[in-house]
Amino acid sequence: MQVYKFGGASVKDASGIINLSEIVRKNRETPLLIVVSAMGKTTNALEKLTRAYVDQADDMQFIFEEIKQYHYEILHQLFAPNHAVFDEVENTFVEIEWTIEDEPHDDFDFIYDQIVSIGELVSTRIVNAYLNKAGIASQWLDVRGYIHTDNTYREGKVDWAKTKQSIQQDVPALLQKGVVVTPGFLGGTSENFTTTLGREGSDYTASIFAACLNADSVTIWKDVPGVLNADPKLFEATVKYDELSYAEAIEMTYYGASVIHPKTIKPLQNAKIPLLVKPFLHPEEPGTIISETQHIVFNTPVIIVKQNQVLLSISTKDYSFISEDHLSEIFGLFASTHTKVNIMQNSAVSFTVCFDDAPEKFEKLMLGLQPAFRVKYNTELSLITVRHYKQGLLKELTTGKIVLLEQISRNTVQMVVK
């Protein structure tokens, strides 16, 4: 069997969903499970709605109505007005209405997951309904009953034993009846609350199902021709890699390459399942294959840019050395706030870290650090990572920029720049 994952760009409008159905129609040689993200920029809009709800902002209802109207416009282009999918979508949006009717009392991360998860629940309802309308037997699967996580909201940790048991118990029989469509990005707790697996986590969902079902392959359908050496939105004349090793793909995603979610590769590597990254507008093209292949010569460096970064310098208040005890306390705070360190550097009296600027996490981190440490920070920075680098390229990338921190190893250079 195969697992396909379609991202938000591939289902952002009615023509995208029609294109998805044609890709499915042409690739039905084996049983197929489809993982679908929220449509277009819906996750961004739902994040904005979550913040408006928590802040009790005046435009909260307006944001919600815009999200609903965006989906209803797509529905009207695909279905007759009396189609059952309209009620399915409306009933799904009701879950948000129930939430925002009351004043916010719960933890922000919990609220985030209950609201933002609706994007995938709605998109998969629409995709599943259209596949059936197009004559492709399809059934919707609520992923929250199959990917079991703990209560770490926004970064749900998967209970692999329970997840594997649930998936293997039901899904193979469902696949024999037709295509299975399921939401990406989501999981469920033992108390039946919704969790998310981390931003852009639908790739990870696909790899979880593939590993549990021993799939032949996973295909991620993107708006790019494959895995490129750099983001085409930031750089001209990018180069596509025809193949990559699991190890190189893990390195690229760890450093922030957005084409694949960081947690995607490991389950596939463990199960020796190849991952294909292909363009949804040109499905006949080969894309990039990621597998156990070795001995790839990199003539083109990999360039990864992470924007909206914070550079934080931490020192003791009495100017004593930063000891292992201090580092233990600091890393404990980063772990408790679920803040991922992108680069770090230690000196005698200070410890410097760079990480993504997430206001809720940053506020908690500062509250934890300030009683015991002196803290200085810069925001609105960029982290540039270059693998298989060349000196001339490094100079080109930093021209006109101030380099605040630099680390160089055998294969990789990282630079925090302003």
User: Is 6 annotated to bind ligand?
Assistant: yes
| Residue 316 annotated as part of some ligand binding site | no
Q: Are 6 and 219 in contact (CB under 8 A)?
A: no
Residue 332 is labelled as binding a ligand: no
Hey, what amino acid is at 377?
A: Y
CA atoms of 241 and 212, how far apart (whole Å)? 28
Residue 188 assigned ligand-binding role: no
- How far is Cα of residue 55 from the mean position of the Cα atoms in its chain? 25
Q: If we measure between CA atoms, which residue out of 351, 402, 401, 398 comes closest to residue 377?
A: 351
Q: Position of tokens 């810069």?
A: 378
Q: Is 5 annotated as a binding residue?
A: yes
Binding residues for substrate: 43, 120
Binding residues for ATP: 5-8
